Amino acid sequence: MASSDAATIARVCQHMNNDHADALCDYARYYARLPTSLAKTARLTTLSTTKLTLTITSSHGGTSEVNIPLSPPMESLLESRERLVAMAHEAAEGLGRSRYKVTRFVLPDPVGVAVVAAVGFGYWSFWNASAVFARGGFVKEKIFLGGLDSVSALLEKYGGMLFWGVLAIHAVECVWIHRSRLRKHGVPTASSLWWKWILMTFFEGVGSVRRFEREVRRLEEEAASRKDH
């Protein structure tokens, strides 16, 4: 093996292991058809123009070696970056995920902030309906200015039902964004980023989902721009 090839292999392996460990797991799960339990982690041990060699660690701590053929073979190791990127995209999409990975949380605009505040106030008001909508209560006196008796009476009576109804709707929206978007776009479940999107969806609802979709579109446009140049 030429010294230049050895240097290229060492550089590619180090880069993939340090920065793209998730893609290596995808290679094992998609190309080698290994279940997640058998491919908890993966490291690129070496590569050639015809194959990748991965060292796989299972959820039980066992290790094994997996060879992934490259079809068609590369003409040179200088093609490694382009080939590995293409394989990462194919593997992610084959496993039901998008090639566009969301890695940041986007704060709501002023309208979104207002929605969050309103929903949060609604949760509090409905939970404390018997106190805040009754005569002398905060909402009754400070917001309704002592009036709207029929509305106050209805909210006082049905506030508990409204609380659980609103909570259920927003809980469904949290499940929706997790299953249809967060998981698809590579946001790790229960990570700090995942919690930010989930909690914002719990309060903001569909506005948070739409903001997530705009972030995905931004990633798509950035990728298209790089391709054009």
173 — pLDDT class (breaks 50, 70, 90): very high
Inform me whether the pLDDT recorded for 224 exceeds 90. no
Q: Which residue has the tokens 């093996």?
A: 1
Q: In sequence order, what are the residues at sequence separation of 6 or more whose Cβ sits closer than 8 angstroms to the Cβ of residue 225?
A: none
Find the DSSP H helices in 100-148. Answer: 110-127, 129-132, 138
119 — pLDDT class (breaks 50, 70, 90): very high
pLDDT of residue 83: 93
What is the distance between the terminal CA atoms of the chain, rounded to a whole angstrom? 35
Tens of pLDDT along 126-136? 999 888 888 88
207 or 147, which is more confident: 207
Q: Which residues of 112-138 are buried (b: 16+ CB within 10 A; e: fewer)?
A: beebbeebeeebebbbbbeebbbeebe
Least confident window among 89-98, 109-118, 192-201, 205-214? 89-98
Q: In sequence order, what are the residues at sequence separation of 6 or more whose Cβ sits closer than 8 angstroms to the Cβ of residue 181?
A: 209, 212, 213, 216
Q: What is the mean pLDDT of residues 113-117?
A: 93
Q: What is the mean pLDDT of residues 62-66?
A: 91
Q: What is the mean pLDDT of residues 167-177?
A: 94
CB atoms within 10 A of CB 25: 22
Determine phi and psi for 77, rounding to 5 degrees: -65, -15
Q: For each of the domains in the chain, give its residue range(s) and CATH number, in order of start.
A: 3-94 (3.20.180.10), 110-228 (no CATH)
Query: Which residues make beta-bridge pairs with 55?
Result: 43, 65
Which contiguous run of DSSP H or E holds residue 222? helix 206-228
